[in-house]
Structure 1
């Protein structure tokens, strides 16, 4: 069992480095195709070379593509803090105005419903 361990490690390194290389957008020092051939043709040294000299440098993304993911790319301790909407007087004023509009709309609907019910009581639908 122990004699198969080096082959298992070599295969795991090959698979990991190959997948990592294929998923990388822009590798360092060589083209992606060259790195794939180096990893496959030079088994252990190619994988180690990829890990040391081929992987792109990882830098946290500071430009966020979508406003809904403003905290994407930041570690938890570096995430920008946003104020709560409960602290914003403009937001609260807008909520009150919206609540007043909804209350008025609800009262109008209730009045329309009462009118329809009263008409139905006075004028029952014709039976077939």
Structure 2
């Protein structure tokens, strides 16, 4: 009987030490219920019962809040980024189309007069459109 009590005392002491260490090394955000110092006091002052409460109530689950990810690893961020980029691109295309339509309407405006092209001074016997060019295509040369 004494051996059984000794083994039980060793197991209870090992459990108590393990719960103290586990409670101490957990980040403050993983403690549920009360604050980290309060859990430490509960675990130390109520050796076995405090440890059981710690594992049932106080210790946060490993699958709790997901750790923050870098933006290039976060699909939600990338989805929002592509949506914003698409909206910005659509807005830019719309503005460019408006500017193009405005330029087209200015070009089609009949009130704007353009000088007519000057006809070439072709003399009699000259090739039409050649002007003063000789047969080799040099201007001003006399043949």
- TM-score band (shorter)? 0.3 to 0.5
Q: Which has the higher contact order (CA 8 A, sep 6+)?
A: 1
User: TM-score w.r.t. structure 1 length?
Assistant: 0.46
User: TM-score w.r.t. structure 2 length?
Assistant: 0.42
- Which has the larger share of helix? 1
Q: Rg larger in 1 or in 2?
A: 2
